[in-house]
Amino acid sequence: MASPAETYESYFVPSIFAPLAQVVLSRAAPRPGERALDLACGTGVLARALAPAVGTAGRVMGIDLRPGMLAVARDRAVADGVTVDWRQADACALDLPAGELDLIVCQQGLQFFPDRAGALRHVHRALAPGGRVVFACWRSIEHQALWCDLLEVERRHLAALGADADDAVAPFSLGDAAALRTLLSDAGFTDVEVEAHTLDVAFPAAGFIRSQYQAYAAVMPQLADDPDAFEAFVAAIEADTRALVARYTRGGHVRAPLHTHVAVARR
Ligand X SMILES: C[S@@+](CC[C@H](N)C(=O)[O-])C[C@H]1O[C@@H](n2cnc3c(N)ncnc32)[C@H](O)[C@@H]1O
Of 69, 120, 217, 223, the residue at the interface with ligand X (CB under 6 A) is 69
Site residues for ligand X, window 11-50 (CB under 6 A)? 17, 40-43, 45-46
Residue whose Cβ sits closest to ligand X? 42
Site residues for ligand X, window 222-241 (CB under 6 A)? none
Instruction: Indicate the residue among 112 and 230 with the shorter CB distance to ligand X.
Output: 112
CA distance readout (Å), 95 to 50, 56, 125, 126:
22, 25, 10, 9
Is residue 169 a contact point for ligand X (CB under 6 A)? Answer: no
What span, in angstroms and rounded, lies between the C-alpha atoms of 46 and 179?
24
Q: Look at phi and psi of residue 123 and say left if phi exceeds 0, alpha if psi is from -120 to 50, else beta.
A: alpha
What span, in angstroms and rounded, lies between the C-alpha atoms of 7 and 86?
20
Is residue 6 a contact point for ligand X (CB under 6 A)? Answer: no
Instruction: Tell me how far, at minimum, the Cβ of 63 lies from ligand X, in Å.
Output: 6
Is residue 214 a contact point for ligand X (CB under 6 A)? Answer: no
**Of residues 129, 135, 149, 143, the one with CA closest to residue 192:** 135
Of 11, 113, 147, 208, the residue at the interface with ligand X (CB under 6 A) is 113
- Residues engaged in binding ligand X (CB under 6 A): 17, 40-43, 45-46, 64-66, 69, 90-92, 107-109, 112-113, 219
